[in-house]
């Protein structure tokens, strides 16, 4: 994520800031990709601290407008849970906007989000995150860090976050968009396998007999089905690109990381991954000095690198292919 500044005083402004230290009210303009002090605010600014600009006063910003269903805010912690989930969504939408997804230039379909909560005021209900025909279901309950950590441990996952959920589920949506190109699916199947195999049966088999990712998959869940392999691959491409972008944007430097490096503009996937690996190793060492978890506890094998390169090329070039 790039750094931002207050247009009024020039002080650094963080991506989620509502006000600057100088007292000016600020909002993030998703079109100009910078902070503004003059744009209309999102209608959700007061209720869930959305700091994005809206097209007009009293209207929703382009991120909140994608949420077709939201939980009842006065029940339990739903207001703070939705605020946390929407905050993660805005972050990921800006990630994808670096490759012009959902930008003004992109005339393709937008996702519709069902932001659901297990907290209903009555009997708790199970929410299964997923994507179906352009609709993405997100369990906002996992915006609670303790609940998310428990599920991470129960499922034996190395990494689980709201940002990760949005990256994963949006990857499924992007697959559908990319499939409009006649050459996409044949090329996809050569690398990921045939996604037409029975999905429900594949997941049943995965949960009954989990597979080790070995050299070919980035995570155990990626072994379940080609659709999940794609979604995990895209999520990790975004993880790697964005933490490297944050490193460079912070003005940090180290051997192996060019000071003028622009991760989202990089077209050479191998170079992007090599530099991201250098950053991850360095930050992992820093975290270990504090007895904290590694920033990126995954190994990028050659087969995984080829999958990431495929995803990188298609996601970066989608406008050129008119999809």
3-state secondary structure 95-160: HHHCCCCCCCCCCCCCCEEEEECCCCCCCCCCCCCEEECCEEEEEHHHHCHHHHHHHHHHCCCCCC
Report the relative pairing of strands 112-116 and 135-139 from DSSP bridges. parallel
Instruction: Check residue 32 and give its pLDDT.
Output: 95
Position 120 pLDDT exceeds 90: no
Q: How many CB atoms lie within 10 A of CB 209?
A: 7
Position 2 pLDDT exceeds 90: no
Element holding 12 (H helix, E strand): strand 12-13
Top-ranked range on mean pLDDT: pick from 46-60, 142-156, 309-323? 46-60
pLDDT digit string, tens, across residues 260-312? 899 999 999 999 999 999 999 999 999 999 999 998 989 899 999 999 999 99
Position 177 pLDDT exceeds 90: yes
Position 82 pLDDT exceeds 80: yes
Position 123 pLDDT exceeds 80: no
pLDDT digit string, tens, across residues 128-148? 999 999 999 999 999 999 999
Instruction: Check residue 157 and give its pLDDT.
Output: 83
> Going by C-beta distance under 8 Å and a sequence separation of 6 or more, which residues neighbour residue 42?
27, 50, 51, 52, 53, 54, 59, 60, 61, 64
Instruction: Check residue 154 and give its pLDDT.
Output: 85
pTM: 0.94
150, 114, 111: which is closest to 129 by C-alpha? Answer: 114
Domain boundaries, the chain: 60-173, 180-322
């Amino acid at each position: 994520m790039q750094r931002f500044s207050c247009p009024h005083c020039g002080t650094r402004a963080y991506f989620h800031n509502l006000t600057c230290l100088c007292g000016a009210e600020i909002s993030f303009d998703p079109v100009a990709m910078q902070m503004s002090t003059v744009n209309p605010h999102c209608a959700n600014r007061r209720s869930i601290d959305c700091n994005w600009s809206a097209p007009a006063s009293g209207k929703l910003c382009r991120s909140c407008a994608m949420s077709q269903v939201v939980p009842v805010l006065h029940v339990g912690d739903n207001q703070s849970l939705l605020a946390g989930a929407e905050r993660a969504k805005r972050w990921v939408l800006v990630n994808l906007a670096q490759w012009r997804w959902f930008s003004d230039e992109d005339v393709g379909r937008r996702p519709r989000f069902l932001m659901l909560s297990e907290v209903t005021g009555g009997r708790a209900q199970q929410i299964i995150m997923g994507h179906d025909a352009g609709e993405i279901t997100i369990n906002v309950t996992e915006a609670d860090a303790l609940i998310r950590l428990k599920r991470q441990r129960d499922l034996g996952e190395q990494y689980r976050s709201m940002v990760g959920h949005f990256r994963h589920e949006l990857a499924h949506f992007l697959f559908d968009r990319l499939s409009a190109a006649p050459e996409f699916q044949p090329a996809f199947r050569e690398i990921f396998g045939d996604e037409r195999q029975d999905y429900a049966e594949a997941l049943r088999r995965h949960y009954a007999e989990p597979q080790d990712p070995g050299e070919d998959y980035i995570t155990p869940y990626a072994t379940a089905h080609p659709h999940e392999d794609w979604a995990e691959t895209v999520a990790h491409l975004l993880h790697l690109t964005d933490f490297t972008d944050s490193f460079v944007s912070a003005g940090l430097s180290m051997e192996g990381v060019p000071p003028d490096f622009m991760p989202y503009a990089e077209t050479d996937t191998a170079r992007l991954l090599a530099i991201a690996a250098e950053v991850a190793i360095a930050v992992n060492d820093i975290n270990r000095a504090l007895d904290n978890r590694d920033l990126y506890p995954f190994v990028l094998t050659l087969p995984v690198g080829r999958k990431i390169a495929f995803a990188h090329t298609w996601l970066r070039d989608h406008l050129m292919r008119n999809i």
